[in-house]
Amino acid sequence: MPDMPPLVDEVQVTAPRLAPSPADRAFAIVSLGQGVLGEAPRLDDALRGEPGVALFRRTGSEVANPTIQGLSLRSIAPSGAGRALVTLDGAPQNDPFGGWVIWSALPPEGLAQAQIIKGAGAGPYGAGALTGVVALTERDPGEGVSALDVSAGSRGTYRAAAALGTANLLAVVSGSTTEGYVPVRGARRGPVDEAAGLNQVSAAARLQGEIAGVRAAFRLDAFEERRGGGAIGIGSEASGGSATLSLAQPEASGSGGWRAQVWLRTSDLKNRFAAIDARRAVSRPAAEQLATPALGYGLNAAWRQETGAWTWELGGDVRAAEGETQEFFRDLGAGFTRGRVAGGRTLVGGAYGEATHVGERLLLTGGVRVDGWSATEARRIERDLNGGAVVLNSSAPDASGVTPTARLGGRLEVSDSIHLRGAAYAGFRPPTLNELHRPFRVGNDITEANPTLEPERLYGLEAGIGGGRDMVWTASLFFNRLEDPITNVTIGQGPGTFPIAGFIPTGGVLRQRQNAGAIEALGLEISASGDLGPLQVRAAAVATRAEVDGGTVLPQLTGLRPAQTPEFAATLDLDWQVSAPLRVSTEIRHEGRRFEDDLNTRALAAATTVDLRIAWRIAPEAEVYIAAENLLDAEIETARAGDGLLTLGAPQTLRVGYSLRR
């Protein structure tokens, strides 16, 4: 007797998401799939393959302190907090206290796609999406192991990560350890300099299903990492987790669709800072950030309806954050003598409406958004640790405001292989709790907080052309004006004693976060990808001319280039399938000169690196590989202190590993 057919067809339950909006086609979007993401040991490293995508400094997340892991797009004055919003299936991944992203908590093995959306994200993305959005999509669950990577490399580096599950459950785990490298090398290196190592673990689980046509998913994750800072007495620890509940009913023919999400995120950060003598022979504790407990929570929702050629979307979101920094500081040689607690609350929420018309060749889209924001309960209390007497009790008045934003876009299909597009947009980013309340020290340089900071606002225009079939190409011209950018502004130099900050040693600099006038950036982006014989090729470049207008408040900055902003960046990717099992790929990255400081007195030289990967397929879904990062061992200048001390990025790094992708 033949087998009976199943009474119920097997249905693949996908995550609760709406389909991509047709409005996306009017804006500059780069999509990275599993192939690109899966070859990078760190997500930020995969994203940096797109020119103009950068952390605050050139240091990747394998060494960088969490406080400088904020992401920015288009090389418009990167900041430690980051000027781009990072989401995972709609839930913000930016730290509730500092705005940075803990990249080790987002292993590439758990992702299906990363979309880099350039330009202010008014409309569905809202506050924080100042220079754009990185929208991450988590992979759907599958039976068994769907992704696995195990590798070992230079300087005691070991890593393992996996995605596994069942039809309704996805689990993603990762762990890595490395002895790291010494950031200060050459003649200036002293006895206090040591390798900046990293130990990290992360785990996430997503349970999903469908009830009465509504898709639902509940996700939990947790992470912990411990870092050395490259010198005795310097280091950090970060930990936290999140919970997200998502519901969606995707649109069907003739009916609307909706999604709703609530999320909660906790984090904590500990930092140890040290003062180092000029010979780098002695390290003395300068400050200790004991804890930075923070809580972020929020919700977002959207409704979408298709009516003929029109698509309508309405939605909104609310995000709240509260936290404080708890620190010891002022060590005069016999231990810390002062304690500090500083923190507050922030709240931002808004609503938007967007409409898109899709014609035979012309697409038009437009949307408006209104957000309200507030920064409240600002406090900074400093005590003498011997007796507990209060030596400083400072607060700032509550601040609030309403900010309207909008975005417009259009795309014209000139022919089957050529299109034109244009966009205009406005966006804003409120200051983080870290920028408002937490001072910090790097070596002998001190940066003060500022509880009176105002939100940053960006206005932009762009126009692009693209096309091709076998070879796909694009070119875009953009102009952005960033008003009231939050900048570390130099206000004093050591040796000397200053109010609140105290003593600044010789060679040290005192800065404060301030809204520094405006930044104007004119840029050109080009890219091309396709096959050239046996080679798959992708080339991309961005040239950005950015200048500061300090106005009447900071005229000394007028005409200068924003700190950490290169004028040119480019990448070239070559992928060669030598034979059925053998594949060779390389990526060449170049970044032009940038300045470490707001006054353009500390230059960081241009840097060119070459990465190489050779893989041998041992099964349809598995391969072994050897990879070399910074193959030619180029010197990558990442920071320059007031006394000229130069810090360098990662030297040549080799890895061998096994990879499985299903």
Instruction: Tell me 220's DSSP state.
Output: E
User: pLDDT at residue 144 above 80?
Assistant: yes
CA dist., res. 203 & res. 241, Å (int) = 9
d(CA 459, CA 400) in angstroms, rounded, equals 21
> Do 153 and 654 touch, CB atoms closer than 8 A?
yes
CB 544 within 8 A of CB 75: yes
Domain 22-661: which topology?
Answer: Maltoporin; Chain A (2.40.170)
Residues 512-538 have a mean pLDDT of 92
What pLDDT, on a 0 to 100 scale, did the predictor assign at position 585?
96
Question: How does pLDDT run across 20-29, given as a tens digit for each residue?
Answer: 899 999 999 9
Q: What is the mean pLDDT of residues 145-151?
A: 96
Tokens representing 389 are: 């007497």
SS3 276: strand
Q: Which of 461-500 are b and which e, b meaning 16 or more Cβ less than 10 Å from the residue's Cβ?
A: ebebbbbeeeeeebebebebbbbbbbbbbbebebeeebee
Q: What is the pLDDT of residue 1?
A: 39
Confidence category of residue 441, pLDDT binned at 50, 70, 90: confident
Q: What is the pLDDT of residues 581-634, one digit of tens each?
A: 999 999 999 999 999 888 899 999 999 999 999 999 999 999 999 999 999 999
Distance CA 165, CA 142 (A): 6
Stretch 132-151: mean pLDDT: 93
Q: What is the pLDDT of residue 507?
A: 67
What integer is the mean pLDDT of 455-481? 95
| DSSP one-letter string for 517-542 | SEEEEEEEEEEEEEEETTEEEEEEEE
Which pLDDT band holds residue 10 (cuts at 50, 70, 90)? very low
The pLDDT of residue 4 is above 50? no
Bridge partners of 573, per DSSP, are 538, 587
At 343-373, the pLDDT tens digits run 999 999 999 999 999 999 999 999 999 999 9
Residue 508 is predicted with a pLDDT of 75
Please give the pLDDT value at position 443: 65
- Cα 585 from Cα 577, distance rounded (Å): 8
Residue 65: predicted pLDDT: 86
Give 405 or 35, the one with higher predicted confidence. 405
Looking at the predicted structure, is the pLDDT value of residue 165 above 60? Answer: yes
Q: Is the pLDDT of residue 528 over 90?
A: yes
CA 402, CA 371: separation in Å to the nearest integer?
6
Return the exposure string of 502-538: e unless at least 16 CB atoms fall within 10 Å of the residue's CB, then b. Answer: eebbebbbbbbbbbbbbbbbebebbbbeeeeeeebbb
> Is pLDDT at 8 greater than 50 in this prediction?
no
Question: What would the pLDDT profile of 243-284 be if each residue is shown by its tens digit?
Answer: 999 999 987 655 689 999 999 999 999 999 888 888 999 988
Write out pLDDT tens, residues 560-585: 999 888 999 999 999 999 999 999 99
CA distance linking residue 72 with residue 604, whole number of Å: 19
pLDDT in the model for residue 237:
96
Phi/psi of residue 458, nearest 5 degrees: -125, 135
Share of the chain above pLDDT 90, in %: 71
- Whole-number pLDDT of residue 407: 94
Region 225-233: what's the mean pLDDT?
Answer: 93
- Note the pLDDT tens digit of each residue in 73-96: 887 877 777 889 999 999 999 999
**Average per-residue pLDDT for the chain:** 91
What's the pTM?
A: 0.93
Structure tokens, 641: 């202190």
CA dist., res. 571 & res. 566, Å (int):
14
Q: Which of 198, 219, 238 is nearest to 95 (CA)?
A: 238
What is the mean pLDDT of the segment spanning 19-41? 91
> Can you give the pLDDT at residue 470?
86
Q: Which pLDDT belongs to residue 272?
A: 92
Domain residue ranges in the chain: 22-661
| Nearest C-alpha neighbor of 380 from the set 460, 436, 337 | 436
- The per-residue pLDDT for range 483-520, each reduced to its tens digit, is 999 988 887 777 766 667 666 666 677 888 889 889 99
